[in-house]
Structure 1
Amino acid sequence: MTGQGPVLAVDQGTSGTKALVVCPERGVIGSGAAPVRPRHLPGGLVEVSPGDLLDSVLDAGRAALADADEPVTAVGLANQGETVLAWDPATGEPLTDALVWQDRRAEPLCAELAEHAEELRALTGLPLDPYFAAPKMAWIRRHLTRDGTVTTSDAWLTHRLTGAFVTDAATAGRTQLLDLDTAAWSERALALFGLDGEALPRVVDAAEHIGTTTDFGYGIPLTGLLVDQQAALLAQDVTEPGSAKCTYGTGAFLLAQTGDRPRRGDSGLVACVAWRLGGRSSYCLDGQVYTAASAVRWLTDLGVISGAEDLDAVGSAVPDSGGVTFVPALAGLAAPWWRGDLRGSLTGLGLDTAPGHVVRALCEGIAAQVAELADAVAADLGEPLRSLRVDGGLTRSALLMQTQADLLQRPVEVSALPDVTALGVGAVARLGADPGLALRDVIPAWRPAAVYEPRVSADEAAARRAAFRSEVTALLSRTS
C-alpha cells in the first residue's frame, strides 16, 4: 500500500462536515460539504442527532470523491473533540443524542467535583469544566442510560465506518480521562467521574491503519484520526515550540506548540496532546473562546447585519466602537477565566449608537479574548509569541484581522489554505498509509494569503484591552 496517491480528508465539525480529496502533487482535486444542525435549547443545552453526524460524513465524503472522479488510497477523519454520546457496541446504534462540546448541562456535576479540580488538572492538564467530555459522559450515565458504551463522537463514527473501537491520543486528551504524561487512560480520573469499569476505546496514534471502510463505494483504509484543532495546528506547520495558530470558527481556538513535554502553567490554559506519531506524543497549550462565528450569527439573527460578509462594510461605516464594549460571552467565558456560567455584556450604548459601533465592539471583544490567550501562552512559555497564524471563515474579515493585529501588537498571518483542519487530517492519513514518509513530507507549505501588521501604538492597544478587561471584571464581580 502506498500513500503517494490522493487521500480523502473529512473534517466533521459543529455546524457542518467538509471533505477534500487531496493529491500530494496537485493539491485539492475534489471537495464536498454537508450541513449539521445542532439544537440550541434553554439552559445552555446543545445537542445533535448522531445520525446527522454520520450522514454528513458520508454525504460530504461521497461528494468530494465524485468531484475528484478518481480513486483514493486512504481516508482521514477529524472530529469535534468534546462531543459525546452513548451507543450500542454490538449494533453501532446510538442510545442517546450527542451532547455537543458547547453543552453546559454537566455544570452541577462539575460543582460536586470541585474539591478534586486541582488533582484532575494535574492528572489530565484540563480544568474541571463541562466543556470537556468526561463531565458530559458522567451526566449521560447518571441521567440517560447505563447501557452500551459512552464515548466521544469520533469513536462512534470510526466504529460505524470500520468496526474498530479506537480514538486518537489527542481526542482522548480532550476527555479529562487521559493521563497527560503517559497518554493512557487514568484509572483515578475515571473513578472520580464515576466512570470506572467503562469500556473505553483503544488509544491510537494519529497516523496508523485503523481498518477499512466500504461506505464511500469501495474499500478505503482509514489511516488518519485527529481532533480538529490539532489537525489545523499541524496543517499550518505550527510544529516548533513558541509558534501558535488560532482558528476562528464557531468559537476561536488558539493552540501553541510546546514540544515533547507537556507544559502545565498557571495562566488558565489547557495542556494537552497535540498528536501522537510513532508512539511519541507532542504537546500543546490550548485556549478557547466559546463564541466567535456563533456571536456573528447572533448579531445576524437580531438583524444588525445580514451575515458575516457584512462585518467589514457595516463596521467601516464608523471610525471606532463609539465607546461601546462587547464581551461576547454568549456561551460563557472559557480560558483563561473558565466561567461558563457568565452571560455576555454590551455596554456604553447611547442614542447615537449605530450598527457599525456594535460590529466593531464585537470584533474588539473577540480579538481581545484571543490577545488574552496569547499573553497567557507567553507567560507559560516564558517568551512572547513571534506571530500568530490564523485560519477559519472569520479570517475573511479584514476588520477583525486588523483589530486582532492591533490588540495583539504582533503580525497576524492569514492562511492561504482554506479548510486547514481537513488538510491536517489528510496529512496524517498519508503518514498512516505510507510509513516511509516523515512528518515534514506531508505538511503543506506555509504561505500566508495576507499579513496584518499592527497599525496602532502599544499604548492605544493597552488602553483598548484595559477597557475590555474592566468589563470582564465587572461581569465576574456581579456573578462571583
Structure 2
Amino acid sequence: MLSKLQEHRRTRLLVLVYPHRATFITWNRKTGNHFHNFISWQDLRAIELVKSWNDSLVMKFLHSSCRVLHFFTRSKELLAASRFTFTIQQASLRLAWILQNLTEVQNAVEEENCCFGTIDTWLLYKLTKGSQYATDFSNASTTGLFDPYEMCWSRLITSMISVPLSLLPPVKDTSHNFGSVDEEIFGVPIPIVALVGDQQSAMFGECCFQTGDVKLTMGTGTFLDINTGNDPEHTVGGFYPLIGWKIGQEVVCLAEGNAGDTGSAIKWAQQLDLFTDAAEAEKMAKSLEDSEGVYFVPSFSGLQAPLNDPCACASFMGLKPSTNKHHLVRAILESIAFRNKQLYEMMQKEIHIPVTNVRADGGVC
C-alpha cells in the first residue's frame, strides 16, 4: 500500500473520516496515551445514572420551567428543553460515569491534561500525531452535550452533569481543513478534509438533501433519519435533533430515532445455531405462514424510541409446545420489521414534515 501511495504522489489523495458517533475515549493530552478502552455506544454502565437523572427533581424543574417559558415566548429552543431527556446511547452520562469512577481521569481533568473524543476526534489526533484536536458538528450533536440551536457545547447540560467544557474538543465545519496525515504513517502527507458521523454520512451518501428525505439504515442497530431542513426538531417520543452536516454557511438538520438491536439480534440467533446464514434464515421464515403467535423483543441494549426503557430485556413471548426454531427465526426477523414500523409511525406522528423519499441501506438490507 505504501509503495502504491508513493507511486501516486501526484494524485490528489484526500481523507474523509466517518466513524461510529457515540463511542468515545479519553486520553492524556501530553502523552497521547488513553486512560481506558473505547466506551461503545451500546455500553450500559450508565443505566442507573440515566434513570436517576431522568427521574430527578432537577429534570422535572427544567421541564416545567421551560414549558412555562415556552408558553410565553414560543421559543423552539425552550420547547426542546422541555422535552429533553438523557439516553443511554448518548455519550454524555457515560462520560459522567467515567469522570466519577476513574481516578486517573479525575486527576487529569483537574490538571487540565485530559482530552475527550468520539472516534473521529481520536483518529484525527492519532493520524496527525497529536497536532490536531477537533470534531465536527455532526459528531458533536450526537453526544448529548451539544446545543443544536446555539450550535455550540451546551453550558446547561455540561454544568448539570459536571463535565468541564475544557474537556471537549473545538467543533469545526464538516468540510474543513483538518490538517494532514503525518507523512510517517503512509509515506505521504494526505490532507484530512472532512469529519462526519456514520449516519449523517449515510444520509449524505444516499443524496437525502431535501427536507422530508428519509434514510433507514439497518446495521448493528436501526437508524431512521429525516432531513428537517435548517431547523432542529425535538419530539416527545424520542426522535432527537442532530446536525446532519455544516458546509460553509449551509446547515442541514436531521431528526433521528433508533432501535439498538437489529443485526446484533440476527448475529445472536446465528451464534445459537438457529441458522447458518442469511439464505437459510430466509428459507426458514418463508416456510411458515406466520410465527404462530411467537414474538421476539429485540432489546439486548434496552428499548429505544418510542418506549425509551434502557432496562428492557430481550425476550420471546407466545412460546408453545409446538414452537420450533423456524418460528423463533421468523419472530426475530419480524421483530425488525415491527421496530421499523414503530419508528416510522412515530416519525410521521410527531414530525410534521411530509416524507418525500425513503432510502434504505446497511448490512441487514
The aligned amino acid for 1:101 is W
Q: Aligned match of 1:234 in 187, 200, 204?
A: 204
Question: Which residue of 153, 156, 159 maps to 2:119?
Answer: 153
5 Å matches for 1:16-415? 70=8, 71-114=11-54, 115=56, 116-117=58-59, 119=62, 122-123=80-81, 127-144=85-102, 145-146=105-106, 147=108, 148-162=114-128, 163-213=131-181, 214=183, 215-382=185-352, 385-395=355-365
CA deviation vs aligned residue, 1:158-198 (integer Å, no higher than 9, x gap): 11112211001011001111111021111111111111253
Q: CA deviation at 1:340?
A: 1.2
Superposition deviation, residue 303 in structure 1 = 1.0
What amino acid sits opposite 2:127 in the alignment?
L
Q: Percent identity over the alignment?
A: 28
* Structure with the larger strand share: 1
Cα shift at 1:281: 2.0
Mapped to 2, the partners of 1:277 and 1:338 lie a distance apart of 33
- Counterpart of 1:242 in structure 2: which amino acid? G
Query: What residue number does 2:66 align with?
Result: none
Q: Deviations over 1:280-304 (max 9, x none)?
A: 3211110111000100011011110
Q: Which amino acid aligns with 1:202?
A: P
Give the Cα–Cα distance (whole angstroms) in 2 for the partners of residues 229 and 87 of structure 1: 25
Paired with 1:117 and 1:211, the residues of 2 have a C-alpha distance of 41
* Cα drift, residue 309 of structure 1: 4.2
Alignment: residue pair count: 333
User: Partners of 1:279 and 1:384 in 2: how far apart?
Assistant: 25
Q: Distance in 1 between matches of 2:186 and 2:264?
A: 31
Contact 1:308 1:394 in 2 (8 A): no
2:261 touches 2:299 (CA, 8 Å); kept in 1?
Answer: yes
Is the contact between residue 116 and residue 169 of structure 2 (CA under 8 Å) also seen in structure 1?
no
Task: Measure, in 1, the Cα distance between the counterparts of 2:82 and 2:271.
Answer: 38
Query: What code does the residue aligned with 1:88 have?
Result: N
Write the letter of the residue equivalent to 2:208.
Answer: V
The verdict on how the C-alpha distance between 1:275 and 1:350 changes in structure 2, with shifts beyond 3 A counting, is same
CA deviations on 1:396-451 (whole Å, 9 max, x unpaired) are xxxxxxxxxxxxxxxxxxxxxxxxxxxxxxxxxxxxxxxxxxxxxxxxxxxxxxxx
Supply the distance in 2 between the matched residues of 1:108 and 1:291 (Cα, whole angstroms).
20
Over the aligned positions, Cα root-mean-square deviation in angstroms equals 2.4
TM (norm. structure 2) is 0.85
- CA apart distance, 1:393: 1.2
Q: Distance in 2 between matches of 1:124 and 1:223?
A: 37
Matching residue of 2:73: none
Deviation at 1:102, TM superposition (A): 0.2
Residue 139 (structure 1) shift: 0.9
For the residues of structure 2 that align with 1:236 and 1:176, how far apart are their CA atoms? 25
Counterpart-to-counterpart distance in 1, 2:357 and 2:325: 31
TM-score by length of 1: 0.65
- Distance in 2 separating the partners of 1:226 and 1:123: 25
User: What is residue 68 of structure 2 aligned with on the other side?
Assistant: none
User: Which range moves more in the overlay, 304-313 or 238-247?
Assistant: 304-313
> What amino acid is aligned across from residue 206 of structure 1 in structure 2?
T
Following superposition, the deviation at residue 262 of structure 1 comes to: 0.7
Structure 2 segments unaligned to the other structure (5+ residues): 64-78, 109-113
Q: Is the 8 Å Cα contact of residues 153 and 165 (structure 2) preserved in structure 1?
A: no
SS at match of 1:208: coil
State the shift of 1:318 in Å: 1.8
Offset from partner CA, 1:300-328 (integer Å, 9 cap, x none):
11110113343212212222212211111
Is the alpha carbon distance of 1:316 and 1:166 closer, same or farther for their aligned partners in structure 2, counting shifts above 3 Å? same
Quickly say closer, same or farther: Cα 1:193–1:279, change in 2 above 3 A.
Answer: farther
Segment drifting more, 256-265 vs 382-391: 382-391
Q: Which amino acid aligns with 2:118?
A: T
